[in-house]
Amino acid sequence: MTPTTPGTSALGEFLSTRRAQLTPADLGLPEYGDRRRVPGLRREEVAQLAGVSVAYYTRLERGASRGASAQVLDALACALDLDEAERRHLHGLSGDGRRRTPRRRSAERVTEAMRQLMDTFGDAPAILLGRSSDVLAWNRSGHALFAGHLDFAGPDRTGERPNTARLVFLDAHTRELYDTDWPRKARDVVGKLRAASGEDPGDPRLASLIGELTMGSPQFAALWAEHRVRAWDLAEYRMHHPVVGTMAVLQHSMPVPRGAGARLVVVTAQPGSDSQAALRLLAHAAHTDTDTAETTTARSVATRV
């Protein structure tokens, strides 16, 4: 994971970066036509909006003050015009100084209950993601939609599991899959990793992934530096699949009960639309290919016998 600037903290970096992304006009403040030496809001302006002293806010940005109260954090969130996901992230970062040791995480595994949950969505594309966006499992339709060029059994090999963030930034097939919506998908992926890093800053797998993507993708590095946060909930994308063409789909993300941070992503389309027809065609093709492969394998075994 990229280190913070010397003399700051993760909380301080988040505050200073978001401050730089706002202008007085964004918050209805007068500019008085003055020339600014720094981009965005001044510390004095943020402190005034939040109702705290400039000295105290400066200490927060410099990482010299720990344990800000919930009331102060909420005031800063309002001053910086943060949304709900960013507000939760801000509160999470404020605890960095109190959590000295990494949280002990249980091993990620797919339980029978998780598989049953996936099965309830029938032929709708579904994938089960781990804390660092590793693919823990997918159904046939999910595999065909997101990564039909990869081995279906990939998620079963713990050390070789596909990772959706890695695919978005380092895989040409996935970039083409998201068509003109790739820039928005990329921002969403980075925002979700930012949220995950705030919840568990000591996760070594997440840190390794962020380091790899920072070194391997200039686009990721630039987006990571913006400190934007995204919620895992619902997103609409235009996807162009090589088999069934262009679709407008909704990607629903939901936490899995007792999933230790795992999330289930299910893809749907507007009922009665061409996109829904395309998803059904893709599901049919995926199952047909599977049946054909199994029949061929069975015949091959019978011939050898």
- Is residue 4 included in any domain, yes or no? no
- Is residue 301 included in any domain, yes or no? no
* CA dist list (Å): 242 to 148, 225, 246: 10, 33, 9
Same domain for 223 and 279: yes
Q: What pLDDT score does 269 carry?
A: 96
- Is residue 194 included in any domain, yes or no? yes
Among the candidates 43, 64, 98, a domain finishes at 98
- Is residue 199 included in any domain, yes or no? yes
What distance, in Å, lies between the first and last C-alpha atoms of the chain? Answer: 54
CATH of the domain at 236: 3.30.450.180
* CA dist list (Å): 172 to 167, 175, 178, 242: 8, 5, 10, 13
Same domain for 175 and 51: no
**159 class by beta-carbon count within 10 Å (0-12 exposed, 13-18 middle, 19+ buried):** exposed
Domain with 235, as residue range(s), is: 112-296
Same domain for 197 and 125: yes
Same domain for 125 and 93: no
Same domain for 227 and 79: no
Same domain for 280 and 144: yes
Same domain for 82 and 162: no
Which helix (H) or strand (E) covers residue 286, if one does? helix 274-304
Same domain for 86 and 179: no
- Is residue 77 included in any domain, yes or no? yes
Same domain for 138 and 72: no
Residue 134 main-chain phi, psi, to 5 deg: -70, 145
Task: Confirm if 16 and 62 have CB atoms less than 8 A apart.
Answer: no
Per-residue confidence in pLDDT tens, the chain, 305 aa: 444 444 457 888 888 888 888 877 777 666 655 666 666 888 888 888 888 888 888 888 887 766 778 888 888 888 888 888 888 888 888 764 444 455 566 677 888 999 999 999 999 999 999 988 999 999 999 999 999 999 999 999 888 899 999 999 999 999 999 999 999 999 999 999 998 888 777 778 888 999 999 999 999 999 998 888 888 889 999 999 999 999 999 999 998 887 777 899 999 999 999 999 999 999 999 888 665 544 444 344 334 44
Among the candidates 47, 63, 98, a domain finishes at 98
Residue 234 main-chain phi, psi, to 5 deg: -145, 135
pLDDT digits (tens, 9 = 90+) for 56-101: 888 888 877 667 788 888 888 888 888 888 888 888 887 644 444 5
Render 9-42 in DSSP notation, one character per residue. Answer: -HHHHHHHHHHHT--GGGGT---TTPPPSSSS--
Same domain for 199 and 286: yes
Q: What pLDDT score does 297 carry?
A: 40
How far apart are alpha carbons 268 and 249 in whole angstroms? Answer: 6
Into how many domains does the chain fold? 2
Among the candidates 98, 121, 147, a domain finishes at 98
Same domain for 259 and 128: yes
Q: What angle do CA 197, 194, 261 make, to 5 degrees?
A: 55
CATH of the domain at 55: 1.10.260.40
Q: What pLDDT score does 54 carry?
A: 86
pTM, two decimal places: 0.79
- Is residue 29 included in any domain, yes or no? yes
